[in-house]
Structure 1
Amino acid sequence: MLKLFKLLGNKRLFVILIALVMFIALMGFTLGPRANLSWPEKFLRDTVGFVQNIFYKPAGYVAGLFKDIGNMRDIYKENEQLKIALAQYTREKANYNFMEEQNKDLQEALHFTEAQKEKYNYSYHIAQVISVNSDPVNRSLVIDLGARDGVKVGQSVISVKGMVGVVSHVSNFTSTVKLITSMDAKDPNSNGIAVTAMNNHQTFGIVESYDEATQMLIMTQIKQGDPIKKGDTIVSLGDTDKYPRGLIIGTVESVQESQFGKTWTAMIKPAAEFQDWKQLFVVFTPEEQK
C-alpha cells in the first residue's frame, strides 16, 4: 500500500490514470446498444466532417483542374494530328485528281492517235504548251518539242478535236506554232488550206482567212452547185506538204453567195478550242519520219 501511495503521489501519473479510466468508461458507454449518439460523439464527428470538407473541396477542385488540363493537352494533340491528316488528305486528293485528269487526257490522246493511224499513215508526237501569245496580229503559242525531237518548220499541229496551226519557228528544245486564227488572205505569208467535206469529196474550197467578229474561218472559191451544206465537217485535202490529208478544220455554219456572185463562201466554225490548252500533237508524215 505504501508503494501505491507513493505512486499516487506522482501527480502526472495520477492524471494519466484518471484519463485512462474515463476513456475506458467512454468506450464501454459507446459500444453499448444505443439508438442515438452522445454529444461528445456528435461533436467529434461534426468536427472531423467540417475539417474534411474544408480540405476535400479545394483538393477536389485542384485535382479536377489538373485533370482538365491533361484532357485539354490530349485534345490539342488529337486536333494537331487531325490537322496533319486533313492536310495530307488534301494533298493526296489533289495529286489523285491531277493524275486522274492526266490519265484521262492520255487515254483520249492514245485513242485519237490510234484511230488516226488506222485512217492515215501519220505519227503524232505529244507536245505540252509552254506559253500562248494572244496578240491579234501574231496569234501563236510555244510547245516543248524542237529540232532535237525532229520538228520542222511547216508541220501541222492539232488537238484531239481539230487543226490548231502550223510550226513557224524551231529551236533545239521548243517550237513556235502560228495559229489558224491568224490566217489572213491579204497576208502574202499566209498559205490557205485546200479543204473538202469529210463525207462528200465533191466539195472543194480554200480556207484562207479568219473573221474575228464572228470567230469563224472563211472558206472561199466554192463553185456554184457544190453540194456543201450546213453541218458538213471540213477536212484538209492534203494537196500540199504543210497540211496533210484528213486533218479536221471545222464545221460548216452557213453558205452564201460570194461578193462577185460567181462562187460561194462558207463560214466554218473551228473544231479546235483555242483556250485551256492541254496536250497538242505535232503531225509527222511518212516523209518526215524518214
Structure 2
Amino acid sequence: MLKLFKLFNNKRLFILLITLVMFIVVMGFSLGTRKSLSWPENFLRDTTGFVQNLFYKPAGYVAGLFQDIRELSELAEENKRLKILAAQYTIDKANYNFIKSRYEDLQEQLHFTKAQKELYKYTYTNAQVLSLTTEPSNSTLVIDLGSSDGMKPNMSVISVDGLVGVISKVSNFTSTVKLMTMMDVNDPNSQPPIAATAIGKEGKTFGMIESYDQETGMLKMNKIPQGDPIAVKDTIVTSGIGRLYPQGLTIGTVMSVEEGQFGLTSTAIIKPSAEFQDWKLLIVVSQEERAE
C-alpha cells in the first residue's frame, strides 16, 4: 500500500514537471522573435476567433436591426411632419390664389390704372460685386450690372439678409451702390431716408430711418408718433410709402425705443439685418413698368 502511494506521488510529480516544461517551451515560442505562430497559438487563436464570430456576429445583426428600427421610426416621424407641411402649403397656396384673384377683381372694379396694378410687382436680378469701399465718407460698392441690363438710379439693392443700399450712379455695364452706412439726415449726398414699418404692425407702426451711427453700427428710426406699438425685437421692413424703396424689404431688428427730444415722437434703434462686409453676390430689386 505504501509503495502504491509513493508511485502515485511520483506520477503526479512527473506530470507536473512535464506540464512545467511544456509551459516553458510555449512561453519561449511566444516571447521569441518569429515570423509565424506555433500550432498551439494558431489553434488557440482560431478557436477564439470562431467563438467570437459565433457570438459577435448575431449581436451585431441585432444591434443593427435596432438601429434600423430607430431610423425607420425617425423617418416615419419626419414623413408625418413633411405631410403636414405639404398640406399647410397646399392650403396656403389655395388661400393665396383666392386672395390674388379677389384682389385682381377689385382692381378691375375700381378701374385701377396699369401703374397701380404693377405697384407691388418686383423683379429680382443677381449682381456680382466688383469692388467695395468702406470709408465712412464713401461707403459704396460697384456691381456688374449697368444701364444695358436695365439698371437705374435709386433701385434698391439687397443681400439674402436684408437691405444694403440703393444704386446712385449707372454706366453702361456697371453701377455704383450707395450703402446704408452712409445714411445721414444732415448730408444731402447720403442715401435717401427710408419709410419703414414693423412686420405684423403694418398700418399701426410708422417711422423714417434717417441715419446710421458709425460707432455703434446701428440705424435710427425717427418720427415715430405717440402711441405707436413699435417694440423691442420687432422686425422692421420698408413700408413702400414714397415708392422709392419697394415694400417689404427687411431692414433690421429693434434693439431699443427711446422718447424723442420733445416727447412728441419716439426714436427706435435698429440693428441692420445685412452685414456690410464680405459681399460677393447681391440682388437688385426693381418694379415692373415703374413710373419715373
Bucket of the pairwise TM-score, normalised by the shorter protein = 0.5 to 0.7
Q: Secondary structure at the match of 2:181?
A: helix
The alpha-carbon deviation at position 288 of structure 1 amounts to: 4.0
Q: How many Å separate the matches in 2 of 1:241 and 1:148? A: 23
Normalization by structure 1: what TM-score?
0.57
Which position in structure 1 is the counterpart of 2:281? 279
The CA deviation string for residues 158-196 of structure 1, in whole angstroms up to 9 with x for no partner, is 011100000000001100000011000101244211000
Q: How many Å separate the matches in 2 of 1:217 and 1:276? A: 20
Task: Name the amino acid aligned to 2:193.
Answer: G
Which position in structure 1 is the counterpart of 2:44? none
Which position in structure 1 is the counterpart of 2:197? 196
Among 251, 254, 260, the residue aligned to 1:252: 254
Which position in structure 2 is the counterpart of 1:179? 179
Q: How many Å separate the matches in 1 of 2:142 and 2:278? A: 14
The CA deviation string for residues 122-162 of structure 1, in whole angstroms up to 9 with x for no partner, is 11000010000111011000000001100001100001110
Which position in structure 1 is the counterpart of 2:54? none
**Which structure 1 residue ranges, 4+ long, deviate > 6 Å from structure 2?**
none
Q: Secondary structure at the match of 1:142?
A: strand
Q: How many Å separate the matches in 2 of 1:262 and 1:152? A: 38
Q: How many Å separate the matches in 1 of 2:290 and 2:275? A: 27
Which position in structure 2 is the counterpart of 1:124? 124
The CA deviation string for residues 98-134 of structure 1, in whole angstroms up to 9 with x for no partner, is xxxxxxxxxxxxxxxxxxxx99521100001000011
The alpha-carbon deviation at position 279 of structure 1 amounts to: 1.2
Which runs of no fewer than 5 residues in structure 2 stay unpaired?
1-96, 101-119
The alpha-carbon deviation at position 276 of structure 1 amounts to: 1.2
Which position in structure 2 is the counterpart of 1:3? none
Q: How many Å separate the matches in 2 of 1:243 and 1:273? A: 19
The alpha-carbon deviation at position 226 of structure 1 amounts to: 0.7
Which is greater in Rg?
Answer: 1
Q: How many Å separate the matches in 1 of 2:243 and 2:165? A: 14
Q: How many Å separate the matches in 2 of 1:181 and 1:259? A: 24
The alpha-carbon deviation at position 241 of structure 1 amounts to: 2.9
Task: Name the amino acid aligned to 1:222.
Answer: I
Q: How many Å separate the matches in 2 of 1:284 and 1:220? A: 26
Normalization by structure 2: what TM-score?
0.57
Which position in structure 2 is the counterpart of 1:229? 231
The CA deviation string for residues 64-96 of structure 1, in whole angstroms up to 9 with x for no partner, is xxxxxxxxxxxxxxxxxxxxxxxxxxxxxxxxx
Q: How many Å separate the matches in 2 of 1:260 and 1:133? A: 38
Which runs of no fewer than 5 residues in structure 1 stay unpaired?
1-117
Q: Secondary structure at the match of 2:289?
A: helix
Q: How many Å separate the matches in 2 of 1:125 and 1:233? A: 24
Q: How many Å separate the matches in 1 of 2:261 and 2:205? A: 20
Which position in structure 1 is the counterpart of 2:136? 136
Task: Name the amino acid aligned to 2:121.
Answer: N
Task: Name the amino acid aligned to 1:123.
Answer: T
Which position in structure 2 is the counterpart of 1:44? none
